[in-house]
């Protein structure tokens, strides 16, 4: 398997959403955008995906303009096409129409020189669900600490 270099991670995604399914998709980019991605200048914070007219799109992913690039660089938050298999797009379309499900990017990575994005079909968490998840995680940590002290 080829080496994957993680460029950007959406850390809020696993806190704010319950991840149901994940997919790996290619990105359609311009030359200066891939150079910015290679220099880790990507922000996934407010990004989301949609399926329109049989094509998958990623909105609001911020790729900073490349410093040494052309003056007329593309809009940093423009929509970008996701490259997926037809059956994956159809499945995403069907599932994203369900109440409460959305498409969010989890991370951007480089694989064999190509920029890829890991997207997820997710359901938003309520505030009390987030608190419960935090409490469970801290309880698990305490349990592991107590177990490691006994050794």
**131 is a domain residue:** no
pLDDT at 105 over 70: yes
CA distance 51 to 23: 14
Residue 101 sits in which domain range?
Answer: 4-125
Question: Per residue in 52-96, pLDDT tens?
Answer: 898 999 999 988 888 776 666 777 788 899 999 999 999 988 888
Both tokens assigned to 71: 């003056």
Instruction: Give the confidence band of 115 by pLDDT, cuts at 50, 70, 90.
Output: very high
**137 is a domain residue:** no
CA distance 77 to 60: 5
pLDDT at 1 over 60: no
**138 is a domain residue:** no
Q: What's this model's pTM, rounded to 2 decimal places?
A: 0.77
Query: What is the tally of structural domains in the chain?
Result: 1
User: For the domain that residue 48 is a member of, what is the CATH number?
Assistant: 2.40.280.10
Report which of residues 129 and 98 the model is more confident about. 98
pLDDT of residue 147: 81
**150 is a domain residue:** no
**117 is a domain residue:** yes
Once rounded to an integer, what is the mean pLDDT over residues 137-148? 86
Of 50, 70, 53, 74, the C-alpha closest to 62 is 74
Question: Per residue in 12-67, pLDDT tens?
Answer: 888 888 889 999 999 998 878 888 888 889 989 889 999 989 899 999 998 888 87
pLDDT of residue 23: 93
**146 is a domain residue:** no
**151 is a domain residue:** no
72-77: list long-range contacts, CB under 8 Å, 24+ apart: 73/30, 73/32, 74/30, 74/32, 74/33
Question: Per residue in 120-134, pLDDT tens?
Answer: 999 887 777 778 888
**134 is a domain residue:** no
């Amino acid at each position: 398997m080829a080496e994957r270099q993680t460029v950007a991670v959406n850390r809020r995604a696993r806190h704010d959403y319950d991840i149901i399914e994940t997919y790996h998709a290619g990105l359609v980019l311009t030359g200066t955008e891939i150079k910015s991605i290679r220099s880790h200048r990507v922000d996934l914070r407010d990004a989301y995906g949609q399926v329109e007219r049989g094509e998958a799109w990623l909105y609001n992913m911020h790729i900073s303009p490349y410093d040494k690039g052309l003056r007329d660089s593309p809009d940093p938050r423009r929509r970008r096409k996701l490259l997926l298999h037809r059956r994956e797009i159809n499945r995403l379309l069907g599932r994203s129409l369900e109440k409460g499900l959305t498409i969010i990017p989890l991370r951007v990575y480089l694989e064999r020189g190509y920029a890829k994005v890991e997207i997820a079909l997710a359901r938003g968490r309520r505030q009390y669900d987030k608190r419960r998840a935090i409490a469970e995680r801290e309880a698990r940590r305490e349990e592991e600490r107590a177990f490691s002290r006994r050794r």
